[in-house]
């Protein structure tokens, strides 16, 4: 089994593997190119995001800057918007549903470093996926940790560190992030 196959399957893998290094370097070059484009170069920005991520729905927009490790593990649903300074460490899948809003300076981390210092010294790590449901709003400066699922219709308050799953239809905030109330449904 290759290190890439181990990474994708959630097993311990060697992050310094040459194949993984080449894939990360190619992705980071594309991110650097995306980040250097003028804001007015909208068509080029859209084209590059579609080349970086594994799947992009309709009407996807990411403000610069944007950084990720591999890109191919990222799936963006329809009507996805992220404000400035999005970081996605996508050693495992990071999936956003439809109609997601992500505030500035947000980070989604799938990489997990072992607690055993001997394994860390060998460059070993593993990854856990992140899933974000439909109609989720994530406030600014939020960090989402490996293995977390955020339920559809939920709101994550600014500055939160999401360490555990968040159910559907709630407002959650804090460090660690915790549910504070159900969301309000407004009818027109």
Q: What are the structure tokens assigned to 6, written together?
A: 């181990």
Longest dimension (CA), the chain: 59
Whether 113 is a known active-site residue: answer: yes
CA gap 151, 75 in Å, rounded: 16
Sequence-distant (6+) residues with CB within 8 A of 50 are 56, 60
Catalytic residue among 25, 26, 58, 113: 113
CB 153 within 8 A of CB 133: yes
Helix (H) or strand (E) holding 179: strand 178-182
CB 142 within 8 A of CB 123: no
* Catalytic machinery residues: 113
């Amino acid at each position: 089994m290759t290190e890439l196959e181990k990474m994708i399957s959630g097993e311990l893998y060697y992050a310094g593997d040459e194949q993984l290094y080449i894939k990360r370097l190619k992705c980071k070059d594309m991110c650097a190119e995306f980040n250097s484009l003028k804001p007015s170069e909208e068509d080029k920005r859209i084209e590059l995001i579609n080349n970086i991520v594994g799947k992009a729905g309709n009407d996807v927009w990411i403000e610069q800057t944007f950084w990720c490790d591999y890109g191919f593990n990222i799936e963006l649903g329809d009507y996805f918007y992220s404000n400035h300074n999005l970081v996605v460490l996508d050693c495992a899948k990071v999936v956003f549903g439809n109609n997601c809003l992500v505030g500035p300076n947000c980070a989604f981390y799938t990489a997990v470093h072992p607690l055993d210092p001997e394994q860390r010294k060998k460059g070993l790590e593993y990854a856990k996926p992140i899933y974000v449901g439909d109609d989720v709003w994530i406030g600014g400066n939020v960090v989402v940790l490996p293995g977390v699922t955020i339920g559809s219709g939920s709101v994550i308050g600014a500055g939160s560190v999401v360490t555990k799953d968040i159910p559907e239809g709630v407002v959650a905030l804090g460090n660690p992030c915790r549910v504070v109330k159900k969301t309000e449904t407004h009818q027109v």
